[in-house]
Structure 1
Amino acid sequence: MKVLVINGSPRNIGVTAKTLHVIEKELIDFGVDVEFVELGNINMSHCIGCCSCYTTGQCHIDDDAEELSKKIAKADGIVLGSPTYASNVSGIMKDFIDRGHFVIEQLLHGKYCVTVATGENYGNKDTLKVLNNLVLYSGGRLSDSVLIKAPFNDASGVEEMVNAKGKKAARKLFYGIGKKSFLPIQSLCHFIIFNFGIRSFVQKKGKKYSGVVKKWEAMGIC
């Protein structure tokens, strides 16, 4: 069992990182092969909106973002975490969402996922919604979502909550992958989104989106 834990915070000692490390440790204790990725430490350029990846099946920018997408494609589970910036995900997480072949190419197809959002004010719920929608729209299965309200870069007053929520999320992810849990409501929502939104859109694009169709065929969803 392979799981990628992705920290979308530019800070590797903040509340987001600490929560993700709790999940990481619990999964390791279950015997899971876990790789922890700091988005703030990788070489990743901005998406330039050329859409060439939809034709070729890969981004023309040869950097760490492309390699990380390949690792996600091979993983069984994904944990995505981000702090809250202006009621949204962090800048580097948004960059990775744009670069990561997620929604149109269905990068998370059949993968069990956990989302984590942290923040000091009310906008953290909006951040969590962005991550949850990303999982759903990209074909993933959301095992759990974790919301942590804490002061900036200070988990000292919420350590008990971080540990409890992190361990619970790790357990749900582990058993979800192991049992291949069927999530009927999520499956129905994705069926509607994919077949009446994404698929019809791609079909109208024809050869311009031939790389997308090839990826779908390789995953058995076309």
Structure 2
Amino acid sequence: MPGVAFCDDCGHDLSTVAATIAPSLTPQPDAVASLDTSTPTSGSDPFGDPFGDPFAPTSTYAPPVVTTPPENNSVQTVDTSSSFVIPSSPIPPVASEAQPLTATLKIERNGKIGHTFDISAPTTIGKWDMGSGNFPELDATDHDPDGYISRKHAVIDQNLGQWTITDLGSTNGTALNRQKLAPHQPQPLKSGDELIVGRLFLRFHT
């Protein structure tokens, strides 16, 4: 028969022998179900070498993280007081109101009323005495007939623009605005003050 093979020696049907020796290779449903149908994990090699790659790196290299400092937009003040100091320009002195270098004494009582003496600093009030060599700037001899004024009675002076009157230890004393002065104690004198030297009344003016 066509398609049928027989043994040349015994004439046996070889197709039955082949069917017995070679069972069906068609998988059974249970066998198919028992197969592992899970999907390999991504990135894994199900057939990888169990001994691994001897040249593979043992650890993963991570590049260093560079941190950029935050920008500081604030304006910083630099203290230059200790490093450099600009010398200040010298301040010119403020000139005080200039005081007159001369003044006047006007007789108001006793003596020759209305007579005026021009004085400058210093001016000693007294009497001339040839014997002792005493020659005061203001000689009151003609205005003191009764002799109440001493040869060195008082002195009018000026210091830093301030006029002063000082009794020089006279016998009958000196008064400023009717107040008797202590000897050798300078007292400030201003324009319009009244002076009493002995018994001579004078008005001071600048």
Task: Using structure 1 for the length normalisation, give the TM-score.
Answer: 0.24
> Greater Rg, structure 1 or structure 2?
2
Structure with the largest fraction of helix: 1
Structure with the largest fraction of strand: 2
Task: Using structure 2 for the length normalisation, give the TM-score.
Answer: 0.25
